[in-house]
Copies of this chain bind each other. A is one copy, B any other.
């Protein structure tokens, strides 16, 4: 099973850091394994098989690889939300967010051209931690009148409670491929 392969890889190549940080930069968020990204995208298609979606949305930078592989397989456009307003962007929606690993606030920006009330969005990201980026997406979609059909994450750190934050914000479908129960004492423990 693919999920076992993914978990094995996280156990073997992931590194734990103080404060609940898991580093997977050998295959997800610095060096990337494109074949793994393809497998991840196929698993997302299976998980969300019952949904009707017309657009994949992600956040720069680590979400782009799985999102673009998924968009390719599903033949859908992919929009990546920016963390900095480009000089050429004027008509946009803005949401406030906070990075868990970087411990800093930032704005999430999407052009009004690429998120409208016609959109049925599948949001894809590498990590679900505190749910801050996902909550920003809920905010952007609310402003645009777009519908969030689901949110898919490669890795969920369950103990950081992001799932509850997103459910409270009204997200009805959340799928995480590998769910981590704890990183206590530097040990990766899956649910």
Q: Give the interface of A toward B (CB within 8 A).
A: 15, 17, 21, 23, 25-26, 30-35, 37-38, 60-61, 64-65, 68-69, 71-72, 75-80, 82, 84, 86-89, 101-103, 110-111, 113-114
Between-chain CB contacts (< 8 Å), 9 pairs: A25-B111, A25-B114, A30-B79, A30-B89, A33-B77, A34-B72, A61-B64, A64-B65, A65-B78
CB neighbours of A87 from chain B (8 A)? 17, 21, 101-103
A183: min CB distance to chain B, Å: 13
Cβ-defined partner of A65 (8 Å) among B23, B31, B68, B88:
B68
A140: min CB distance to chain B, Å: 13
A10: min CB distance to chain B, Å: 15
Cβ-defined partner of A72 (8 Å) among B23, B35, B75, B114:
B35
Are A68 and B37 also in contact (CB < 8 A) when A31-B114, A32-B78, A61-B80 are?
Answer: yes
Q: CB distance A80 to B114 under 8 Å?
A: no
